């Protein structure tokens, strides 16, 4: 598996080696020792899957207590996936990295605890799956605005396609007003 660093050292992209022939392909998407060697020494307790159509933007989500690390990938379609450092004491606080994840490139991205996470659907439809290091806890969930100028995410919005957000995401707080990690 290829390990690809990002501009934020704790956020890591993984690219599985794909073995295929005329019948299809096989690839390993999780191997504890490989991820541990890359710095992801976590146990996962929950797997999630979502389906969204083009123009849907989800995020930026995080849990202020029971923070979740997420290992995310796309099994159908294409998304632009974003991680934002929400740790006030970090040298990369408020910085973001984005990566195109697709069923074609098979990449995974590790979003550590203490980061906000979101994605935007580029293809007509996308199936998104992710492993979590802690359980979902609605009472601890927080949302930062996807368009916060202090973060400055450059979302690759599809021309002519309206961006769709949930009421929860539309009600996200700016970074300056959000509950953050020390």
61 in active site: yes
Rounded CA gap, 172 and 178, in Å? 9
19 in active site: no
16 phi and psi, to 5 degrees?
Answer: -65, 150
Adjacent-strand bridge partners of 98:
82
Q: Please identify which of the residues 61, 62, 106, 120 carries the catalytic annotation.
A: 61
Q: Please identify which of the residues 62, 120, 130, 146 carries the catalytic annotation.
A: 130
CA dihedral (89, 91, 95, 101) positive or negative:
negative
Rounded CA gap, 43 and 6, in Å? 22
Adjacent-strand bridge partners of 130:
48, 72
**Are the C-beta atoms of residues 17 and 23 closer than 8 Å to each other?**
no
Which residues are the active-site residues?
A: 61, 130
């Amino acid at each position: 598996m290829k390990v690809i660093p990002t501009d934020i050292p704790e956020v890591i992209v993984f690219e599985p080696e794909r073995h295929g022939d005329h019948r299809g392909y096989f690839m390993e998407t999780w191997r504890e020792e490989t991820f541990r060697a890359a710095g992801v020494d976590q146990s996962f307790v929950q797997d999630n899957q979502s389906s969204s159509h083009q123009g849907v933007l989800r995020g930026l989500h995080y849990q202020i207590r029971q923070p979740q690390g997420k290992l995310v990938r796309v099994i159908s379609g294409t998304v632009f996936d974003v991680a934002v450092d929400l740790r006030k004491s970090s040298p990369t606080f408020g910085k973001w990295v984005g990566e195109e994840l697709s069923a074609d490139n098979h990449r995974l991205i590790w979003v550590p605890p203490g980061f906000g996470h979101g994605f935007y659907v580029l293809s007509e439809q996308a199936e998104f799956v992710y492993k979590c290091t802690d359980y979902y806890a609605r009472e601890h969930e927080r949302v930062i605005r996807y368009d916060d100028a202090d973060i400055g995410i450059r979302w690759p919005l599809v021309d002519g396609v309206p961006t769709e957000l949930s009421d929860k995401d539309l009600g996200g707080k700016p970074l300056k007003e959000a509950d953050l990690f020390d």
